Structure 1
Amino acid sequence: MRRDFHIKKLYGYLLKTYIPLFLMTFAICLFLVLMQFLWKYVEDMVGKGLGLNVIGEMFLYAALQLIPLALPLSILLASLMMFGNLGENLELLAIKSAGISLIKAMVPLIALIVLICIGTFFFQNNAMPKIQPKFYSLLISIRQKSPELDVPEGVFYKEIEGYNLYVDKKNRKTGMLYGVSIYDVSSGFQNMAVIICDSAEMRTSEDKLSLVFTMHSGQQFQNFTQGTENMNFSSEFIPYARESFVTKTMTIPYDDNFNRMEESVLQESESSNYVSKNIAQLRVSIDSLEQFIDSVNISDRKIMKQYTYLSFRNSYPQEKRDSIVEHATASMKPDMDSIFASKDIQTQTAILQNAYSKADNNGNDYLFRSMSKTTTQRNINRQWIEWHRKFTIPFACLVFFFIGAPLGSIVRKGGLGTPIVISVILFIIYYILDNVGYKMARDGVWDHWIGMWFSSMILLPLGIFLTYKAMTDSVIMSTDTYTSFFKKLFFIREKRNYTLKEVVIEEPNYAEVYQSSRELTDEVAAHLQKYGTLGYKTYWTDNGYDHSLTSIKNKMENMLNQLSNSRKPMVIEKAKEYPVLIKYVRPFNTGSTLAKLCMYIFPLGVIMKLLSLPFEKRINRDLNAVLTLNNELNEIMNNQQRKVAV
């Protein structure tokens, strides 16, 4: 009963720690993806005079629409931070010391993530079909909104369709424009009009559907080609009209209103209505589209059979169409090449032209039909993508939890630094894989279920692997593990670090050390004599080499541990010169079935034996160095004993 109480307290503590952390990371991640959205669509919104209510509504719909993208990243980051903090503060060690495994400690969080996944599914299925039409209709309306007029100085302004406007100077207080040139090409280049004036005023009409220019002291030049098509003018002369004016008013069509698209336009569109459907509606739509393609294929096969294959039979009477086929035999088949060669050149040309014309017409007809079917199939792919997305996003949340939680317990680094770096790297990988699968499914290269579940299929084994490693207290993310590996790989020697101790509880017994040194010398000499040159068969089958090397290493370390307590500087310095023996590297245990199998696979076994030669030479050099150092150490200890005796 007491144990259950403590486990419940632990579960409560974990939930109280995780939920605020998750909410914080979710807010951060949603803000980041929202900034990505702003960066992507900033050109469509800037300079159009949009009201704050429109911009606020746009950001609200964008934030709601981006929740499925921010949710997996926030779960990953929160899991990494929480379990990294637990590992860094040794709280995870205390939990395991109490007999509670990592997976058992994760039970309340797993339940919470499952609830989040279920909520995400219902959000995707029920809320997103209502949010996405509002978002995309508003985005399209903003894109179609005309830019706010801000005519620059000394540059041609081309934002007014059909007109190019040049202003030399302008008074920003009064809005008066000076040195104005207007090029009107709205009626075509042949009927272009050019207006030049000293000054002009520009304002928007009350209904905001046109611009009103009031121009002062200027001239207008206009080509005059309308109605003169039948007149004989040389190519060098085009009639034009010239007009001088003191004050002239001109109206230019320019819609400055914000015309909002109706959501029903997207919902009724065959190419984009998938954004407004839930699972049941998508399934109905997919079935109807697939039935449509099947009916078109059946119709195409009938047309192909009737009008393309043996189409000449269509001119025969119904009762005589198959009479020739019924009476024909294999020996009576005509030689089509000989019949064609028997015709004159004109007839042959007519036959070929007729065949080419029929083939070209049939090709164009079926190309048009195939384009219709391709568009329908692409629409089906989009519908399937949206259907699978209802499930892939919640599943990705679960996968990212089983990546982040065990990885945090392995890394044992809390805070925002290391977890953010790892989260960003993993999420970029997920984002790339998800986009690759999406585009492959959209274009029909992969089946829709393979493309949409591609990223999850790649990351799920990673989550299982990390969970297993975390439960077995793996050192997969320990820097010491990789440092040791690279030191062995590049033969970087470790150095012994012995110093004179100010306080020594027990000094070494030099007589025992001397005896251990003699025994070590004999064992090393015997090892070098037997295994100095390691044969091919011995390398794979004789496990005595490893046992002998392990025994030598243990005896040497025991002897050096005693000498590390010595008060004699010369002994300490000599002990520091002893090499650190490395373990002989083999892919399989000596004498095992895999080792013997590898030995008999001739090229593979020889290659591995050759790769092990550098390790073998280093070990032999170190053992010879041990023999030399043993003799020098014995000499030092003998000299010290003589001095003490004198």
Structure 2
Amino acid sequence: MIKKLDQYIIKTFFGPFLFIFCVLCFIFIVNLIWTQMGQIAGKGLSLLEISKLLFYMGITVIKMTLPLTILLASIMTFGEFGERYELAAMKSSGISLLRIMRPLFFTSILLSILLYFFSNNIIPDFQRKAKNMFHNITMLRPALNFTPGQFINTVPGMTIKFDKISGENGEKVSGVFIHKIANYYQDNQTVIAKNGKFMPAVDKNYLKLILYNGYIFQDENADLKARERQSDQSIKFDSLVHHFDISELLKKALEEQNITDDYQFKTYRQLSKTIEDRKKDNQETFKNLSHDLMIQQNAYIAYIDKMKVKKSLIKRPFALDSLKGNKKLEVLYSAYSNLKAVKTAYQEKEEQIIETLKYQAKIVMYQQRILSSSFTCVIFFMIGASLGSIIRKGGMGLPVIIAIVIFILFYLLNLTTENIAWKGDMNPYLATWLPNLILFPLGVWMTHKALTDSQLFDSEKYKAYLKPLINIFYRPKEHQRYQ
């Protein structure tokens, strides 16, 4: 049964926790809007569809937001306890700091477990929806993926071709050819224009194209006798507004699951199997690469492989000193050519090896972050609770600054180790856990300082230590009366 003191501590903690969590989620989602809106604006999407995409992408920020929320909320909670002298009252009643921290420590463990299941079971599904939807949106430019010089029949009932597409957003076209695919009861129509421009339509379900300097060729669908009396018609125009109905195309395109095989869509166990399968594939790839390099490096090895005879029947390579004249120069030039070919081949293979290692490191680090993010929550609580009890300052001032500094250091450590692991200079498992391994001793040390009532942030204490050094370089002048 939870005691009243524990209830009070947990209640005090969740007040700033919920507020900070909502604020941080809003900030990270606004950052997503800022970075991604330029790529999805002008694609004929409704506000509901844009909101759905941002929701899919915004779910993933919880993995980054929750540890920072725990850090900031714990600093504020224990800082307010110290500022209101509640922490001193609890200690004077014989309650130790560890006993005060215990309910929130178990709460942080519970939140870390929930974060693990959330990252393992829920985020992959939303990652798949977000990536597919974003992929489908980027294929619509401004509402379709037009390719210059190719006939496009993705618009229902239309065959379209543009000779050239230009403009910042691909809105200007030239050499326009539009053919309406008509059935027996419709008129056949073909539009040819010198140039045109895409413009925003009032209805987002339509694509508006303004054409300039062109012709409309139309064959009215009448009976055979009427067609004999009236041949094909051609109409010249200076400007023509053409609307394409793309409502069905947009609905279908946005919900299509074109991307199904991605490591971000898998759980921890599925990633383990993926890593093992890729290790086998990578070993085979590296084996083939090394074999190719060896063949190019040593023609003697290639000769042995080609002859397929016992090594004892093959004479050893000749000595260079035994050759004379042009034959020696020919051998030296051949060796130089082989070395040059090996260098070129090595540079080509090196890029392939780096990309293979980088992708393998990405999979491993993504898998391990499912676990490491949960441990980060507990470590951040240890640091935050200790700092809050030491500085004894609540509110949104100093605690926010300290929390941001700690989080920035943690984030920089993550980025640094990640880049090193991508280059193949660090084990990806170590790269993922290294920030936690660095911060965990800091959390233990901060907890020890809090338990011993250390004056870690007392400015007077540091002034006393630095006073002898200050007196060496700066001596205050005596009052003239005492001179």
Is the shorter-chain TM-score for this pair beyond 0.5, marking a shared fold?
yes
What is the match of residue 135 of structure 2? Answer: 140
Map 1:207-606 to 2 at 5 A.
Answer: 212-213=209-210, 215=212, 258=250, 260=253, 264-268=257-261, 273-301=262-290, 308-309=297-298, 310=300, 311-314=302-305, 318=309, 321-323=311-313, 335-339=319-323, 342-344=324-326, 347=327, 350-352=330-332, 354-361=334-341, 367-491=347-471
Structure 1 residues 262 and 246, CA gap change in structure 2 (3 angstroms): closer
Greater relative contact order structure (CA < 8 Å, 6+ sep) = 2
- What is the CA deviation profile of residues 373-407 of structure 1, one whole-angstrom value per residue up to 9, with x for unaligned ones? 43322221111111110111111111111111111
Structure 1 residues 254 and 385, CA gap change in structure 2 (3 angstroms): farther
Measure the CA separation in 1 of the matches of 2:272 and 2:195: 63
Q: Of the candidates 23, 35, 41, which is equivalent to residue 18 of structure 2?
A: 23
Q: Of the candidates 46, 67, 71, which is equivalent to residue 62 of structure 2?
A: 67
Structure 1 residues 28 and 289, CA gap change in structure 2 (3 angstroms): same
Conserved? CA contact 1:437–1:453, under 8 Å: no
Counting matched residue pairs gives 423
How far apart are residue 304 of structure 1 and its match?
A: 5.6
- What is the CA deviation profile of residues 184-235 of structure 1, one whole-angstrom value per residue up to 9, with x for unaligned ones? 3789xxxxx99599xx99898x9989755465xx699xxxxxxxxxxxxxxx
What one-letter code is carried by the residue in structure 2 that aligns with 1:289? R
Rg larger in structure:
1
What one-letter code is carried by the residue in structure 2 that aligns with 1:286? I
Q: Of the candidates 88, 92, 98, which is equivalent to residue 87 of structure 2?
A: 92
Structure 1 residues 480 and 444, CA gap change in structure 2 (3 angstroms): same
How far apart are residue 63 of structure 1 and its match?
A: 2.3
What is the match of residue 50 of structure 2? Answer: 55
Measure the CA separation in 2 of the matches of 1:201 and 1:73: 45
Conserved? CA contact 2:71–2:403, under 8 Å: yes
Measure the CA separation in 1 of the matches of 2:459 and 2:351: 57
TM-score under structure 2 length normalisation: 0.74
Structure 1 residues 27 and 209, CA gap change in structure 2 (3 angstroms): closer
**1:121 and 2:116 correspond:** yes
What one-letter code is carried by the residue in structure 2 that aligns with 1:336? L
What one-letter code is carried by the residue in structure 2 that aligns with 1:106? M
What one-letter code is carried by the residue in structure 2 that aligns with 1:162? K
Conserved? CA contact 2:163–2:174, under 8 Å: no
Measure the CA separation in 1 of the matches of 2:377 and 2:256: 30
How far apart are residue 460 of structure 1 and its match?
A: 1.8
Conserved? CA contact 1:183–1:194, under 8 Å: no
Measure the CA separation in 2 of the matches of 1:318 and 1:296: 27
Measure the CA separation in 1 of the matches of 2:430 and 2:81: 37
Structure 1 residues 383 and 261, CA gap change in structure 2 (3 angstroms): farther
Measure the CA separation in 2 of the matches of 1:380 and 1:263: 28
Measure the CA separation in 1 of the matches of 2:386 and 2:306: 77
Measure the CA separation in 2 of the matches of 1:377 and 1:208: 44
Q: Counterpart of 1:475 in 2: which secondary structure?
A: coil
Conserved? CA contact 1:293–1:373, under 8 Å: no
Q: Counterpart of 1:39 in 2: which secondary structure?
A: helix
Measure the CA separation in 2 of the matches of 1:135 and 1:74: 24
How far apart are residue 302 of structure 1 and its match?
A: 5.0
Q: Which runs of 5+ in 2 are unaligned?
A: 145-161, 178-191, 216-234
How far apart are residue 453 of structure 1 and its match?
A: 1.8
What is the match of residue 591 of structure 1? Answer: none
What one-letter code is carried by the residue in structure 1 that aligns with 2:418? Y
Measure the CA separation in 2 of the matches of 1:186 and 1:463: 66
Q: Counterpart of 1:413 in 2: which secondary structure?
A: coil
Measure the CA separation in 2 of the matches of 1:107 and 1:468: 15
Measure the CA separation in 1 of the matches of 2:374 and 2:40: 32
How far apart are residue 315 of structure 1 and its match?
A: 5.9
Q: Counterpart of 1:106 in 2: which secondary structure?
A: helix
Structure 1 residues 337 and 286, CA gap change in structure 2 (3 angstroms): same
Structure 1 residues 338 and 61, CA gap change in structure 2 (3 angstroms): same
Q: Counterpart of 1:100 in 2: which secondary structure?
A: coil
Structure 1 residues 164 and 480, CA gap change in structure 2 (3 angstroms): same
Question: Relative to structure 2, which stretch is displaced further, 298-307 or 133-142?
Answer: 298-307
What one-letter code is carried by the residue in structure 2 that aligns with 1:411? I
Q: How much is the aligned-residue C-alpha RMSD, in angstroms?
A: 4.2
Conserved? CA contact 2:163–2:173, under 8 Å: no
What one-letter code is carried by the residue in structure 2 that aligns with 1:405? A
- What is the CA deviation profile of residues 602-646 of structure 1, one whole-angstrom value per residue up to 9, with x for unaligned ones? xxxxxxxxxxxx59x99xx99xx9xxx9xxxxxxxxxxxxxxxxx
- What is the CA deviation profile of residues 526-562 of structure 1, one whole-angstrom value per residue up to 9, with x for unaligned ones? xxxxxxxxxxxxxxxxxxxxxxxxxxxxxxxxxxxxx
How far apart are residue 70 of structure 1 and its match?
A: 0.7
Q: Which runs of 5+ in 1 are unaligned?
A: 150-159, 166-181, 188-192, 221-243, 492-613, 630-646
Structure 1 residues 455 and 263, CA gap change in structure 2 (3 angstroms): farther
Structure 1 residues 54 and 484, CA gap change in structure 2 (3 angstroms): same
Measure the CA separation in 1 of the matches of 2:3 and 2:404: 33
How far apart are residue 183 of structure 1 and its match?
A: 7.4
